[in-house]
Chain A
Amino acid sequence: MVTYFRPMTDDDRVFKALADRTRRFLLDLLFVRDGRTLTELESELEMTRFGVMKHLRVLEDAGLVVTRRSGREKLHFLNPVPIRLIHDRWIDKYTERQVSALTDLKTELEEEA
């Protein structure tokens, strides 16, 4: 059994949640159109309903997805604030200028390609 010396922080949960391709895909789906039901999200994935639920649970625990009830339906919303917090605390702090120069370059090169 693994013993942690410290409880997981909010940042740990966000990084863990983002470290999975399916979960990033779910966030991308919600970015395109927010407020979807489990059934709608499930139809976009080659995965069991239970599998999608498990991934959504990890995203919810990390605060990246917020659910709201609408009648009998549960709607899933992308919450970008945790990513913004990581951006503001880490990327801004150390590397924003270099990173934005590099991402600009990447965008430019990819547009030319």
Chain B
Amino acid sequence: MTTMTGTTGTVQVYRVYIRATPEAIWEAITTPEWTQRYGYGSPVEYELRPGGAYRGLATAEMKAMGGEDVVVDGEVLEADPPRRLVQTWRARWLGEGFTRLTWEIEEGDSGVTTLTVTHDVDGAPSTAAQVAGTVPNAGGGWSYILSDLKTLLETGRPLAG
């Protein structure tokens, strides 16, 4: 676990319990086939090794709104499938620096796995508001994405759009 000293107030923690295997959750986070099916539907590209590239690509809808091809980018810092993924993360349209994102997947009792997303948004207030879902008409942030991911993995269908 990374130290949180000095980052109080700039770290956001999201946790969801999903009736799925750690492997299934890992796949759902790191492969474009899955990421297109929940949240904002942005296909991802991950080079799952330290120093590897991460990209979140624009959906057809985002492109239609005049967005760039790559909407989110970053670098993989740690990849330990299917338990832990640490990366940097930058929403390119916000014009802020890279933030740090940690995905932790922990297998629990009776087929329920805990997924914890820790987003250190130190020095990036617009990113903090965006991922917290507090920007009006700009989506629900991590809460929305993780809620949708849970629904998809447990029912095979995303939330009704």
Which of B9, B148, B160 interacts with A35 by CB under 8 Å? B9
C-alpha gap A10/B18 in the complex (Å): 11
Q: Is the interface of A mostly helix, strand, loop or mixed?
A: mixed
Chain A residues closer than 8 Å to B16, beta-carbon distance: 81, 85
Q: Number of B residues contacting the other chain (C-beta, 8 Å)? A: 29
Chain B residues closer than 8 Å to A84, beta-carbon distance: 140, 143-144, 146-147
Q: Is the interface of B mostly helix, strand, loop or mixed?
A: mixed
Query: Quick check: B147 and A81 within 8 Å, CB to CB?
Result: yes
Chain A min CB distance to B58 (Å): 24
Which of B3, B13, B133, B148 interacts with A79 by CB under 8 Å? B13
Q: Number of A residues contacting the other chain (C-beta, 8 Å)? A: 22
Interface residues of A in 62-76 (CB under 8 A from B): 63, 66, 68-71, 75
The number of A-B residue pairs with CB atoms under 8 Å apart is 65
Which of B3, B118, B132, B150 interacts with A71 by CB under 8 Å? B3
- Residues of A whose CB lies within 8 Å of any CB of B are 10, 33-36, 63, 66, 68-71, 75, 77, 79-81, 83-85, 87-88, 92
Return 22 A-B CB contacts under 8 Å, by A number.
A33-B8, A35-B8, A35-B9, A63-B17, A66-B116, A69-B1, A70-B4, A71-B5, A75-B8, A77-B12, A79-B13, A79-B14, A79-B15, A80-B14, A80-B132, A81-B146, A83-B143, A84-B140, A88-B144, A88-B147, A88-B151, A92-B160
A-B CB proximity, top 9 nearest: A84-B143, A77-B13, A70-B4, A35-B8, A84-B147, A80-B143, A66-B13, A81-B16, A79-B15
- Residues of B whose CB lies within 8 Å of any CB of A are 1, 3-5, 7-9, 11-17, 116, 118, 132-133, 140, 142-144, 146-148, 150-151, 159-160
